[in-house]
Amino acid sequence: MTSLLAIISVLAFGSPILVKAQDPKTINLPLTLVHGDGGQGPVYLANISIGNPPQTVTVQVDSGSSDLWVFADQLECNVENGCHGGSYSPNASSTFNEDLPELFKFSYGSGNSGTGDYIKDDVHIGGVTVKNFRVGLARNATGGWPLYGLMGMSFSHGEFLVDQGYLEHEYPVLVEELAIQGHIDTPAFSQYLNDVRSQGELLFGGVDVAKHIDEIKEFDLIANSDGNYTLIERYPDPNPPLIGGETACSFGVSPGPDGFMVLGDAFLRGAYAVHNMEKKTVGLANAKFNVTESDIRPVT
């Protein structure tokens, strides 16, 4: 489910992202690639904790959704390939607060679905604590594919409560709340998936210039509106000639909802991507694989 569910304007070259060379206020969250079973493709996982004392859970990172949700400790799991990543017990947390009982629901194209409650509690991520954050708490789940809790990284308009009309107004998603509570300066994050044999990372509030090649080009995200660019669907020649002498790359693109195309893991593994929720932009550069050093700058 990791995907870049935004349409990047291809009508103009992007402008470079400018970063300041100073001590950054950033948060690093390691990502682990797990190759799924039961027909599921690879997924990227991260460890976070919820409540006090902290209860650690492993969640799938998804840039195509907005909610953070985890499994309840008394979960009724009817998923053929299991419910994974641990669970959270509200009764074991001194900072748990009830929020919206019985309103949490999820349903994915894989056939997995579930219901539960919305609660509020402290979320510990990358060494900082987000106070009293809204979390979906799944109390039952059904389906076939292996299932983890989910950390949505998209904009607030994708929140289930807003999308389904339970709430009239959007509320801050996790990246925005990190900025509101002063943990980062800008509601933005960088995504470095690295190659399939190595650990990747999310960097909230910053850019690691050691992990990409050349400057990052920034593109405005545009609303779902008319416009298209047609590409050849396939070619029969396994060794096609170069047009104009230019080298080119082939990369994986998946069909998405409403006819849009999704640039998923196969594309993003080769890119260093910067998602700026304040400016509504995405920056892209070629990733530099398996880099051990860091040179972190804050997003401006």
Tens digits of residue pLDDT in 142-171: 999 999 999 999 999 889 999 999 999 999
Of 200, 202, 210, the closest CA to residue 295 belongs to 210
Q: Is the pLDDT of residue 233 over 50?
A: no
Q: Are 39 and 11 in the same domain?
A: no
Q: Is the pLDDT of residue 49 over 70?
A: yes
Distance CA 90, CA 95 (A): 9
Domain C-terminal end among 183, 216, 240: 183
DSSP strands (E only) in 144-276: 147-152, 188-192, 200-204, 206-208, 212-222, 254-255, 261-264, 271-276
How confident is the prediction for the chain on average, in pLDDT? 83
Distance CA 134, CA 103 (A): 12
Q: Are 98 and 8 in the same domain?
A: no
**Residue 11: predicted pLDDT:** 32
CATH number, domain of 125, equals: 2.40.70.10
Q: Is the pLDDT of residue 90 over 90?
A: yes
Classified as helix, coil or strand, 27 is: strand
Question: Strands 15-16 and 212-222, how do they pair?
Answer: antiparallel
**Residue 266: predicted pLDDT:** 61
Q: Is the pLDDT of residue 134 over 60?
A: yes
Q: Is the pLDDT of residue 191 over 90?
A: yes
Q: Are 171 and 189 in the same domain?
A: no
Interior/surface letters 197-229, b for 16+ CB within 10 angstroms, e for the rest: eeebbbbbbbbbbebbeeebbbbebeeeeeeee
Domain C-terminal end among 129, 152, 183: 183
Q: Are 63 and 199 in the same domain?
A: no
Q: How far is CA 231 from CA 54, 193, 253, in A?
A: 49, 26, 11
Which domain covers residue 129, as residue numbers?
32-183
Domain C-terminal end among 120, 150, 183: 183
Q: Beta partners for 34?
A: 43
- Residues 53-80 have a mean pLDDT of 96
Of 136, 121, 127, the closest CA to residue 184 belongs to 127
Per cent of the chain over pLDDT 90 is 65
Q: Are 69 and 87 in the same domain?
A: yes
Judged on CB neighbours under 10 Å (0-12, 13-18, 19+), 77 is middle
Task: Give the HSE-up count for residue 288: Cα atoms under 13 Å, Cβ half-sphere.
Answer: 14
Q: Which residue has the higher pLDDT, 198 or 140?
A: 140
Q: Are 39 and 177 in the same domain?
A: yes
Q: Are 137 and 204 in the same domain?
A: no
**Residue 37: predicted pLDDT:** 65
Q: Are 201 and 298 in the same domain?
A: yes
Question: Strands 212-222 and 281-287, how do they pair?
Answer: antiparallel
**Residue 112: predicted pLDDT:** 93
Number of domains composing the chain: 2
Q: Are 43 and 133 in the same domain?
A: yes
Q: Is the pLDDT of residue 281 over 80?
A: yes
Q: Are 196 and 289 in the same domain?
A: yes
Q: Are 168 and 39 in the same domain?
A: yes
Judged on CB neighbours under 10 Å (0-12, 13-18, 19+), 105 is middle
Tokens of 98: 């009830």
Classified as helix, coil or strand, 221 is: strand
Q: Are 108 and 85 in the same domain?
A: yes
Q: Is the pLDDT of residue 64 over 90?
A: no
